[in-house]
Structure 1
Amino acid sequence: MSVISSSPIPAGITVTKRYLDLAGVFSCALLGGAMARTAGLDLFEFLAVGVISGLGGGVIRDVLLQHGTPVALTDYAYLPTALAGAAVVFVIKFSESAWTRIFTALDAAVIGCWAVAGANKTLAVGLGWLPAVLLGTVTVVGGGALRDIVLGRRPAVLGGNGLYATVAIAVAGTTVICVYRGAPALGTALGIVLALVFRLAAVRWGWNLPGGLEWRSGSGTAARLRRGIGIAKTDDEERPHPPEEKP
């Protein structure tokens, strides 16, 4: 029996995965085109950045899976989809406020489509839940990280991004749980909804992970944690504070 035939994902869901993958390619190519516009690049550079952004995460995933040639090189829909995404941003110019709203929505859509598609594809080739969550996340963050490196920027996944990778992990994990429970279609729908709600909420309210126990050194909780595990106090904690003046 082949590895694919033992997949817990029905054929209809694996077909849906292709369209989710293509939706992620188009959305991330749009984001790449937006970055190219910000950097003042020409048409060729727009297309190059769009292709890197749109196809990078999926190619990294497929190379790590070692289950045949990356789908971006065998399915002729992928490259034109990435080029189309970059071309749309080159041709159509949005206002800054409109683009900010579009960018945030696209970002959430990319997370949902690619985390679900990456997790499903990993399970479809016979790997377990941990590789599925890992490669679902890699599919999401890989193209954007390559794009940022090419543009000389710090990859957004490394911080200050409204829980980008965290949302991807949550979506991929939700998809895997639903597949193991025998409800892959529910996992696909629930993963996309979770990405939209979680990512938009993180951006709206500025949610971020803490940067370490020195994060917000004035926090009493952080200070107690440092003392509890034997970490030296910060200069601010060591310095005696003058008594408050009474009115």
Structure 2
Amino acid sequence: MDTDRVTSQIFSPDVQQPLDLFGIFVFALSGGLLAVRKNMDIFGICVLAEATALGGGVMRDLLIGAVPPVAFTNLGYFLTPLVAGLVVFFLHPEVERINRAVQTLDALGLGLFCVTGTAKAHDYGLGSVASVALGMLTAAGGGVIRDVLAQDPPALLRWDREIYAVPALVGATMVAVLIALDDLTTFTASSAAMIAFVLRMLALRYGWRAPRAWHRNGSRTSEE
């Protein structure tokens, strides 16, 4: 396998773009829903939808020097979050009712973006550790930007939320290992994405959380 362009070994462009747009749309729904809960107007809804959907990818592209970021060179990438924002603006009660389905689709997007983000970082010459970090950033960075704009503590850093970055980290690490073994294919990349997806779904199902520091303030229950 030619590892100079490992992204080309995962999905063909005809498949990659629809998958990207799917993930972007679902991430944008979660951003729009938070904006509604914060009582924002239509502009705020669209801003949070855009930031959630594209923030991670834009930060990755800026860091690796892939400029201008693809979010601004591909009109579909920029317009899709706006469509999702309008869907939430007009139909947010219905979207809230299917929030479990939105979370499931969001987990699929998480798996997809941690894989493609890691591969793209490698294509731009980064080593394994940096590629893994940027794969995780691609998948989870938009959610951090969303929470900051909404003046919430980032869910990524809250102990009382189910793990989100960890599944992305696992998927990204698998991709880096596959690249090192010269074994990144559509099947193996999809397997890494599915493992990240399954971990996220199990976290939602069973309330998995990352451990906190032992003996903080002399008690593990003082803040609970």
Fold conserved between structures, TM > 0.5:
yes
CA contact (8 A) 2:33 2:96 kept: no
Identity of aligned residues (%): 30
Indicate the SS of the match to 2:194.
helix
Aligned length: 216
Deviations 1:30-88 (A, max 9, x none): 10011112112222221111111111111111011113311111111111111112122
Matched AA of 2:125: G
Work out whether 1:201 is the aligned partner of 2:202: yes
Shift of 1:9: 4.2
Match of 1:7 among 5, 14, 38: 5
User: What is the identity, as a one-letter code, of the residue corresponding to 2:198?
Assistant: V
Quote the offset at 1:20 in angstroms: 3.5
Partner of 2:189: 188
Paired residues for 1:30-109 under 5 Å: 30-94=29-93, 98-109=97-108
- Letter of the 1:175 counterpart: V
The TM-score normalised by the length of structure 1 is 0.78
Q: Which moved more, 1:46-55 or 1:106-115?
A: 106-115
Partner of 2:178: 178
State the partner residue of 1:165: 165
Rounded Cα–Cα distance in structure 2 between residues aligned with 1:23 and 1:204? 23
Q: Which residue of 2 aligns with 1:119?
A: 118
CA distance in 1, matches of 2:8, 2:146: 34
**Per the alignment, do residues 177 and 20 of structure 1 end up closer, same or farther by CA in structure 2, a change over 3 Å counting?**
farther
- The AA in structure 1 aligned to 2:207 is G
Largest Rg, 1 or 2:
1
In 2, Cα distance between equivalents of 1:204 and 1:147: 24
Mark the CA change 1:12 to 1:178 in structure 2 (over 3 Å): closer, same or farther: closer
Structure 1 position 133 matched with structure 2 position 141: no
Report which of the two has the higher share of helix.
Answer: 2
CA distance, structure 2, for counterparts of residue 131 and residue 145 of structure 1: 19
Distance between the aligned counterparts of 1:97 and 1:12, measured in 2?
A: 33
Per-residue CA deviations over 1:74-114 (Å, capped at 9, x if unaligned) read: 11111111111212222223458733312321331221121
Which structure has more relative contact order (CA 8 Å, sep 6+)? It is: 2
- C-alpha distance in structure 1 between counterparts of 2:151 and 2:53, whole Å: 18
- Which amino acid letter does the alignment assign opposite residue 63 of structure 1? L
2: CA distance, partners of 1:83 / 1:235: 46
- Greater displacement, 41-50 / 123-132: 123-132
Q: CA RMSD in A?
A: 2.5
Report Cα offsets for 1:133-188 as digits up to 9, x if no partner: 10010112211111111111011100232110111100111222233332321233
**Are 1:210 and 2:211 an aligned pair?**
yes
What's the CA shift string for 1:103-133, capped at 9, x where partnerless? 3213312211211121121122232221211
Structure 1 residues 54 and 189: alpha-carbon distance in aligned structure 2, compared to 1, 3 A threshold = same
| One-letter amino acid of the structure 1 residue matched with residue 142 of structure 2 | G
* 8 Å contact from structure 2 (residues 10, 185) kept in 1: no
Aligned to 1:142: 141
* TM-score normalised per structure 2: 0.85
8 Å Cα contact 2:136-2:169 kept in structure 1: yes
Structure 1 residue matching 2:75: 3-state secondary structure = coil
Look up the SS of the partner of 2:139 in the other structure: helix
| Structure 2 unaligned spans of 5+ | none
